[in-house]
Amino acid sequence: MAYGAIYRKTLNFNCRVKARLAVLLGVTLVTAACATGPLWSPPPEGAADPRATAPEFTFVSDTFAFANLIRARHRGEDDLYANYCFVLARGLRQFSQFARFDPALPRLDHDGYAGLVRRVVALPVWQPASSEDGRIVIPGYANLREFSRAEEAAVKEGLGSRFWTLVHWTNWRVTFWVTRGHQEHVAHEIVSELRAGRLVQLLVTNWPKPELNHTVVAFESRDAGSTVDFVVWDPNDPDAPGIVTFDRHAGRFWATRVYDTEPGAIRVFRMYYSRLL
């Protein structure tokens, strides 16, 4: 057989192998949430409240005061703080888990605060929350909202680059088809995590519609029987909570109130809850 023919056959074989591996990887990623993590559990015994919340979190005080900006709404403007939604959502969780504020301590300069923020966001977000004594202390301010409003430049500098969050390999899940069972399990996991007192970061998408490839942080769920509303902090909207709804009958999520997004069906994945995912 001619060398060219052998080469073409080898190339075609390699392409088929790579394609099958890509499909296998996709299936593995999509089903990972079904294979790991806590199952849906009933409310604590004696509890009448259908809500689940992260009890140490308050929207008006424990969120960033500034927004991740949307380029389409700021055309022609330079130096936009845009495409930082993953950085901000992860950073919110890291401050919740690893930092505490002490307004009685003297304030620092710009470099001092930027350095403290770097220390907070250097900690792996999937690790358990630190004890009160083990947390990084942010002096001179009472909470994250107050701190990020007064020291916006230092906080943004300390949060760092958006590059690796934009190219993170799990972001490709926005292109994946998901089953009803997968989305049901994601909803179960969110409720279980909130009942355990943990914030839940979500990748939300309505791809291939080029409108929503984004991340939000769930901090409360409200069970209405046929639906569960997940109340979320949206990096694009520091002024008010958003809502992502899970419809039990349809087995899918709905963008009920997601900033700058038309209400409609979306796919939801958990983010940054293990070394791989």
Cα distance between residue 206 and residue 219, in whole Å: 22
Tokens describing residue 274: 């293990």
What are the tokens at 108?
Answer: 């620092």
Q: Are residues 162 and 67 in the same domain?
A: yes
Domain boundaries, position 4: 1-31
pLDDT at residue number 55: 76
- Please give the pLDDT value at position 19: 38
- Are residue 36 and residue 115 in the same domain, yes or no? no
Q: Counting Cβ atoms within 10 Å, is residue 227 exposed (0-12), middle (13-18) or buried (19+)?
A: middle
Structural domain ending residue among the three candidates 133, 166, 199: 166
Asked whether residue 111 is domain-assigned, the answer is: yes
Residue 57 lies in a domain: no
Q: How many domains does the chain have?
A: 3
Report helix, strand or coil for 15: helix
Mean pLDDT by 10 residues, the chain (277 residues): 41 40 38 35 43 86 96 80 95 98 98 98 96 97 98 98 82 87 97 95 91 93 96 96 97 96 95 85
- The rounded distance, in Å, linking the Cα atoms of 74 and 54 is 34
Residue 127 lies in a domain: yes
**Any domain includes 275:** no
233 and 265 together in one domain: yes
Q: How far apart are CA 94 and CA 72, in angstroms?
A: 29
On whether residue 56 sits in a domain, the answer given is no
89/174 same-domain check: no
Kindly state whether residues 173 and 103 are assigned to the same domain. Answer: no
Tell me: do 159 and 181 sit in the same domain: no
Annotate 70-129 with three-state secondary structure: CHHHCCCCCCCCECCHHHHHHHHHHHHHHEEEECCCCCCCHHHHHHHHHHHHCCCCCCCC
Asked if the structure places residue 141 within a domain, the reply is: yes
Question: What pTM was estimated for this model as a whole?
Answer: 0.81
What is the per-residue pLDDT for 54?
Answer: 80
Residues 72 and 108 in one domain: yes
pLDDT, position 102:
98
CB-based contact 98:123 (threshold 8 Å): yes
| Residue at token pair 């710009």 | 110
Domain membership of residue 276 (yes or no) is no
Same domain, 225 and 198: yes
Task: Quote the CA–CA distance of 219 and 229 in Å, as a whole number.
Answer: 11
For residues 191 and 234, membership in a common domain is answered with yes
Distance CA 164, CA 93 (A): 17
Residues 136, 68, single domain; the answer is yes
User: Which pLDDT value is given to residue 216?
Assistant: 97
103 and 116, same structural domain?
yes
Q: What is the pLDDT of residue 10?
A: 38
The percent helix, strand, coil of the chain (3-state, each to 5) is 40, 20, 40
Residues 129 and 210 in one domain: no
Asked, for residue 24, whether it belongs to a domain, the answer is yes
Q: Find all residues with CB under 8 Å of 77, minimum gap 6, and list them.
A: none
Strand bridging mode 252-257 / 237-247: antiparallel
In whole angstroms, what is the distance from residue 98 CA to residue 86 CA? Answer: 18
Backbone angles phi, psi at 207, to 5 degrees: -55, 140
Integer CA distances (angstroms), 121 to 7, 17, 30, 70, 96, in order: 49, 39, 27, 23, 11
The per-residue pLDDT for 22 is 39
